Amino acid sequence: MNRLLFASLGASLLLLNASCSFLEPAGGHGHGHDAASRRASGAPAESGHAHHGGGEAAYGAPKASFAFPDGVPAPGKSTTLTIGLRDEAGAVIEKFDVNHEKLMHLIVVSEDLSHFEHLHPEYEGNGTFRVDLTFPAGGRYKLFADFAPSGGAQTTIGEWIDVEGEGAGRPIVPDAELAKTIDGMRIELDVEGLSPNADTMLTFSFKDAASGRPVDDLEPYLGAVGHVVILSKDAETYLHVHPADEASTGPKAMFHTSFPSSGTYKIWGQFQHQGRLITVPFVVNVTK
User: 152 — phi, psi (to 5°)?
Assistant: -120, -175
Query: Phi/psi class of residue 211: alpha, beta or left (left: φ > 0; alpha: ψ in -120 to 50)?
Result: alpha
Which of 33-42, 170-179, 263-272 is predicted with the least confidence, judged by mean pLDDT?
33-42
Cis bond upstream, residue 243 (ω within 30): no
Quick one: DSSP state of residue 168? -
In single-letter form, the type of residue at position 275 comes to G
In single-letter form, the type of residue at position 250 comes to G
Task: Write the CATH number of the domain with boundaries 179-286.
Answer: 2.60.40.1940
Please list, in sequence order, all residues whose beta carbon lies within 8 angstroms of the beta carbon of residue 262, skipping any fewer than 6 positions away.
195, 196, 286, 287, 288
2 C-beta neighbours (distance < 10 Å), count: 9
pLDDT digits (tens, 9 = 90+) for 41-68: 333 332 322 222 233 446 678 999 999 9
The percent of the chain in helix, strand and coil, each rounded to the nearest 5, is: 0, 50, 50
79 C-beta neighbours (distance < 10 Å), count: 17
- Residue 65 confidence (pLDDT): 97
- Record the pTM: 0.82
Closest C-alpha to 84, from 116, 123, 120, 128: 128
pLDDT digits (tens, 9 = 90+) for 201-239: 999 999 999 999 999 999 999 999 999 999 999 999 999
Do 8-30+38-163 and 179-286 fold alike per CATH? Answer: yes
- Residue 36 confidence (pLDDT): 41
User: 223 — phi, psi (to 5°)?
Assistant: 85, 10
pLDDT digits (tens, 9 = 90+) for 253-284: 999 999 999 999 999 999 999 999 999 999 99
- Residue 167 confidence (pLDDT): 86
Nearest 10 degrees: Cα torsion 241, 234, 60, 58: 20
pLDDT digits (tens, 9 = 90+) for 102-149: 999 999 999 999 999 999 999 999 999 999 999 999 999 999 999 999
User: 259 — phi, psi (to 5°)?
Assistant: -85, 125
Q: Under CATH, domain 8-30+38-163 is a member of which superfamily?
A: Macroglobulin (MG2) domain (2.60.40.1930)
**Beta carbons of 158 and 142 less than 8 angstroms apart:** yes
Helix (H) or strand (E) holding 119: strand 115-119
Statement: residue 35 has pLDDT above 50: no
Average pLDDT, the chain: 84
CA distance 183 to 127: 38
- Residue 6 confidence (pLDDT): 34
Q: For the chain, give every domain's residue range.
A: 8-30+38-163, 179-286
The β-bridge partners of 160 are 142
